[in-house]
Structure 1
Amino acid sequence: MTDERRGVYPFCAPCTAASEAWRTAELTGPMGGRFYGHHDVCENCGSSVRTLYNTVLWVPVSKAGRYRIIPTGGRSYVARRVVDEPVAAVVRREPVAVAHPELDATPEYRLAEACWAESEPGQALPHYQAALAEREQVLAADDPATLRVRLRVAQGLLATANYGRAIAWFELITPQLVAVFGPHHELTRAATEAVTGARLMVGGPRSEALLLTDIVAADIDRLAATDRQLVRDRAALGKALLACGDISDAVEALIQVVRDAVPGHPDTAVYRAALTEACEVAEARGKKRDVQLAGAARQLLSRADAPTSR
């Protein structure tokens, strides 16, 4: 592979540097989106820049952004959002945790780091998971120190081909990484690029939804309804269904997530935001049942006793 090709597969390095990872949704139907144009073709990776328009009754009504597109056969493609000028990051707080050196000195964390350094993600993963459990007893789930280990757990799942659970982790932690470190921090970019790679391996929103459906079914058979893994996997399923255009199923899944989430926990803010996004899609593009479900979801989100972030 040449230097020009050392980007994020299948995009070359220059095209990767000028764009950011983007979740590809299914853009069919009268109320959706459609790409127009075909210019700035890259000689290295063959991608081209196209403009995404929101459509109503198949008529383009507004621009939704510019993307680098590589067709992968039929109507399928991979895409990255073109970044014209990086926006200055506005982070929620300084990305520096209160020092907890005793956590970095724990046996589980040291073993995990040693295995990871030796390129043994399968051996590192259970130690990272154990180290994460220790950290979350002391630090908040969205503490900068905790987020670094959460990211490593997600990367470990991806490296061991556990794509569905990796996607679920990345869906949860990426908004937290953005809030704490900013959208252009190396950790945030690592997460967004990794989840793009996971989705490429899975094969698109429909395949992702099918995979996560099986994972959630397995979770339900052995976990309590409020178990964090089940809630996390179901949230990822909801977002995958939304990307497929299955709006009612997405809203229903995310309603269940918000009902089962822990009140006051940092993760709950991510789930509430996902449900809010699904409501907005339902109200803008959905059918009558979708809009009704969105109304029920809005009531859940507005209730005084609904799970909410601190």
Structure 2
Amino acid sequence: MNRLRIGLVGTGPWASATHAPALARHPGVELGGIWGRRPEAAAALAATHATTAYADVDELFAASDAVAFAVPPDVQAPLAERAAAAGCHLLLDKPVATTVEGARRLAAAAERASVASVVFFTVRFAPATSAWIAEQTAAGGWFTGRADWYGSFYAPDGGDPAFSSPWRAGRGGLWDVGPHALSILLPVLGDVTSVTAAQGAGDTAHLILRHTSGASSTAALSLTAPVKCAGLSVELRSEIGTAVLPSWDGPGDAFRTAVDALVESARTGTPHACDVRFGVRVTEILAAAEERIASA
């Protein structure tokens, strides 16, 4: 297969800092063009990476073999449906949508078009953490798991305001960091069979999950934790002891690995474990948790 010509949808900080540089430098693909909801931002980002800024998103799709998305999830889902209908493979951001209906429509569009898809969960693709997840999945026999993801993004003295967005502020830690937690717990412990959820301080959500393996897990998810207590940890426990998720170096290497995965899936026709169907399952679990919180 010749190098995939990948278009980029999005011009915000995530697209500018991670997606565009990684695609421009990747030896196996060509950054074929950029479209954004702000044409001037698309023109500036395209100029930085010596590619084309498209005024019409469907023209970008027509000129691309694949499309990477760096836009809010409920903007991503309908645009990705159109990209799939145009025959483009999909490199999606998490969550693929914030409604089950939107996620399922996207998956159906990808299936109709027979296009490859990969959802970019950072921890699933970062080399150190990806290897750890594979090792724990192979070990099996886990009694319980725990994923604590305490971000201080919206704490008074928290994260970079450049990365603030209405969808993240409105949907909170459940939808922003919840997908990361599930992307670790599900492959190791199995699919979720029941969800209990409760609201904590700020946007904090607490989840209790039962898995097909018989194990249980918990997740604490927040973007409003005080800065001094922010951080993440994932641990698994069984009769052989405790396994703790290692640290990793930023999203750059992880995104390049996700690009590799899409190229391979497009070449072979073999679905990736983190394809859009897995993205749908994550959305279903988060929507169930949100419903439990709302009805409490």
Would you say same fold, with TM above 0.5?
no
Structure with greater proportional strand content: 2
Higher relative contact order (CA 8 A, sep 6+): 2
Q: TM-score scaled by structure 1?
A: 0.29
Structure with greater proportional helix content: 1
Answer with 1 or 2: which has the greater Rg.
Answer: 1
